[in-house]
Amino acid sequence: MDEETIKALTREECILKLKEIGQHGSGSADDMRIKLRKFCLYPKLYERLRNKAQWNFKFECSLDPNVIPPISAKWDNDDSFYPIVSDKIFKEYCSFKSQGNKGQQEKAYRMLQSRKIIPVKSNIINNNKIYLKAMVKKSYGTEIRPTVILFIDSIPKKSHCRCPVGLSGLCCHVLAVLLYLRHFSDTKEKLLELNTATSKMASKIKKRFNSYGSLKRNKTNVC
C-alpha cells in the first residue's frame, strides 16, 4: 500500500485496513494512517499479520471492538444500571467455551478477591441493550486490561478484552467482572480496588496492631 492510497483512506477505511492485519482501530483518521504507514514499511510483516488475522477462531461470545462505544460516549458510573447476574447466568455464559474454562474461573475468583477491578461503568444504547466497561488489573503488576461486556435483555452475550485470550470473549478478566456483578446482585457490596488512601490507612492500622502486640509480649517477658 503506497503513500497516496493511505492518504486517501477515510477513518472507516482505516479501521477496516487495520482490522485486516489484526490491529485495533481507534483515534482519528490521521492517527490510524500513521499506524498503517509503520506496518507498510515492512511488507513481509504486513502480509504475515494479515494471514494470521484470517486464521483467528471465532467464538459466539466474541465482541467486535469496533462496535464498542468510544471513550467520549456517555459512560455512567451509576450502579443502579448494573444488570442482575445470577449464578445460572454466570454458568451459562461460561458454557460458551469449555477448554481451559475451569482454570479461568479459578483465576477470576482470585482476581475478584484481590480487588483487581476498577470502577465499572455502563453505556445504555436502548431499553434492552447495554455495554458494561471495567478496567481490570493483571494478576501481577500494574498493567490494566480494558474489558467490555455486551448485555442484551439483561443477559451477557458478547465480550471483549485486550488480553491475548480476550478476543474469544471468555477470558479471566471478563469472568472476574461477571463475578463482581454476581456478588453485587446478591449483596449490593462493591468489591473494587482499594484507593491509595484506604490502602495506606489499612497499612498503618496493621503496623499499629503489630507494634502493640510486640509491646504486650515484651511486658509479659519482663514480668
User: Where do the domains of the chain lie?
Assistant: 3-55, 65-187
How far are the Cα atoms of 17, 41, 157, 223 from residue 60, in angstroms, in the given order? 23, 35, 8, 71
Q: Per-residue pLDDT tens for 165-192? A: 887 888 899 999 999 999 999 999 887 7
Say if residues 25 and 33 touch (Cβ distance below 8 Å): no
CB atoms within 10 A of CB 124: 15
Closest listed residue to residue 96, CA positions, set 56, 130, 72, 60: 60
152 φ, ψ to 5°? Answer: -125, 125
Q: Is the pLDDT of residue 129 over 60?
A: yes
Q: Is the pLDDT of residue 71 over 50?
A: yes
Mean of the per-residue pLDDT values for the chain? 81
**What is d(CA 76, CA 112) in angstroms, rounded to the nearest whole number?**
22
pTM, whole model, 2 decimals?
A: 0.62
Q: Partners of 126 in the beta sheet? A: 129
Instruction: Using the structure block, give the residue that is written with the C-alpha cell 477496516.
Output: 16
**What is d(CA 22, CA 133) in angstroms, rounded to the nearest whole number?**
22
Report the percent of the chain where pLDDT is more than 90.
28
Q: Which CB contacts under 8 angstroms, 24+ apart, belong to 31-35?
A: 33/6, 33/7, 33/9
Q: Is the pLDDT of residue 57 over 90?
A: no
